[in-house]
A = this chain, B = another copy of it.
Amino acid sequence: MIIVLKAGASDEDIQKVVDKLKEFNYGAHISRGENRVVIGAIGEKRMEEKILIMEQISSLPFVEQVIPILSSYKLVTREFNPSGTKIRVSPDVEIGNDQIVIMAGPCAVESKEQLFEIAEFIKDVGAKVLRGGAFKPRTSPYSFQGLGIEGLKLLYKAKQKYGLPVITEVMDPRDLEIVAEYADIIQIGARNMQNFTLLKEVGKLRKPVLLKRGISATLEEFLFAAEYIMVGGNSEVILCERGIRTFSDYSRNTLDLTIVPALKYKTHLPIFVDPSHGTGNFRYVPSMAKAAIAAGADGLIIEVHPHPEKALSDGPQSLTFSDFRRLMNELKSIANAIGRRL
């Protein structure tokens, strides 16, 4: 950590910083430039202490800037697992290797008929995991809130019938036990990326978690959220970009695909992309699905519905069966072009 003092800082000020560092068993290396005094803090402390001391030193009125040298997370860093994490979801499906995994299904589980029709179809065209919401986070209290436990049971039945592992979202820590019982992958939605209560709870599981990036999360906050889960002992975390909130209003969110190579560089965890929420518009989903694969994503999660105009949730961003079939073919070509497979 490097501490820059304000112009005109006195010897007494410098001493206060040195004392503060000593309190935490840090050494201090003082460098006096023509305009500023810069103090390097020397010593390797536990993360808990590093974060606290940085904040406390920042509170000193004669300190201009405190600059960390090392990141404040560790379990998620690429150094921690240079070869990359692979997550086995079922005997057939492993995430993080050269196979690109497509998860697909309706936004919300609406009925047995709807779910089974979709499950059969997506399996047929090559998707490997069935998605479907049972508990739905909705902006308005007047929107459809999901079938709840009934939805979970339908997902489980679809899984048994079609042999597809299932992913579904949990919103309430009190539901976690039952969701974990029925689902193969637990989804933490964008709105809950910093629901630390929930993160700590899924950290106690030994089950894959797909963690969606919050709509205004920085890359660093995203990694800290994953760190919360890993600190609890659960290392099977899949990161998922699903669009961020910006000024741009022609799409529901702004899909930030550059985070794919950036996360590949910084972390060992696999990266997924959700082009459905990322664009909010079925018209742009296929292009962005292809772009995500070209950018290096390990997989996609896509909303599919046989009749978007009858969907109880997110119809405008759902692909029809024919659109999804066409897309799967195109994705195969792109995967081959970059030396991977679907």
Give A residues with C-beta under 8 Å from B.
2, 4, 7, 20, 29, 31, 33-36, 38, 40, 42, 44, 46-48, 50-52, 55-60, 67, 69-70, 72-73, 79, 137-144, 171-174, 191-192, 194-197, 215-216, 218-221, 224, 227-228, 231, 244-251, 254-262, 265, 278-279, 282-284, 286-288, 290-296, 308-316, 318, 330, 333-334, 336-338
Contact = CB atoms under 8 A, between A and B. Distances in A.
Nearest to A309: B59
A221 to B, nearest CB: 6
Nearest to A144: B52
Contacts of A310: 56
A67 to B, nearest CB: 6
Nearest to A137: B196
Given A40-B31, A224-B140, A244-B248, A258 B288 contact: yes
A224 B141 contact: yes
Contact of A248 (B219, B248, B336): B219
B334 A330 contact: no
Given A218-B250, A309-B57, A287 B279 contact: no
B224 A250 contact: no
A249 B333 CA distance: 33
A190 to B, nearest CB: 9
Given A72-B142, A287-B294, 17 more contacts: A4-B69, A20-B309, A34-B44, A55-B314, A56-B309, A59-B309, A139-B194, A139-B221, A141-B227, A246-B254, A257-B291, A258-B287, A261-B288, A287-B296, A290-B294, A290-B295, A334-B334
A298 to B, nearest CB: 13
A140 B199 CA distance: 12
Contacts of A251: 258, 262
A171 B197 CA distance: 7
A120 B308 CA distance: 53
A59 B315 contact: yes
